Amino acid sequence: MTLTPVRTAAELRALPGAARRAVVMTMGALHEGHATLVRAARDRVGPDGTVVVTVFVNPLQFGAGEDLDRYPRTLDADLRIAEAAGADAVFAPAVDEVYPGGEPQVRITAGPIGERLEGASRPGHFDGMLTVVAKLLHLTAPDLAFFGQKDAQQLALIRRMVRDLNFPVEIVGVPTVREDDGLALSSRNRYLSAEERATALALSRALFAARDRLAAQEALRARAAALPGAQGRAEDRAEALSRLGEARAAADAHAVAQVVEGGGAEAVRAAARVVLDDAAKARTPLTLDYLALVDPDDFTEVEDDHDGEAILAVAARVGSTRLIDNLPLTFGATK
Active site residues: 34
- Residues ≥6 apart with Cβ < 8 Å to 215: none
Question: Crossing angle for the helix pair 75-85 and 32-45, nearest 10 degrees?
Answer: 40
Closest to 108 measured CA to CA, from 156, 60, 56: 60
Closest to 330 measured CA to CA, from 297, 306, 303: 306
Cβ atoms 57, 93 nearer than 8 A: no
The count of residues in the chain is: 335
Cα gap 15→10, rounded to integer Å: 9
Cβ atoms 187, 179 nearer than 8 A: no
Through-space distance between the first and last CA atoms of the chain, rounded to whole angstroms: 54
| DSSP letters spanning 269-303 | HHHHHHHHHHHTTSSS-EEEEEEEEE-TTT-PBPP
The conformation of residue 19, written as its DSSP 8-state character, comes to S
- Give the torsion sign (CA, 101, 126, 56, 320): positive
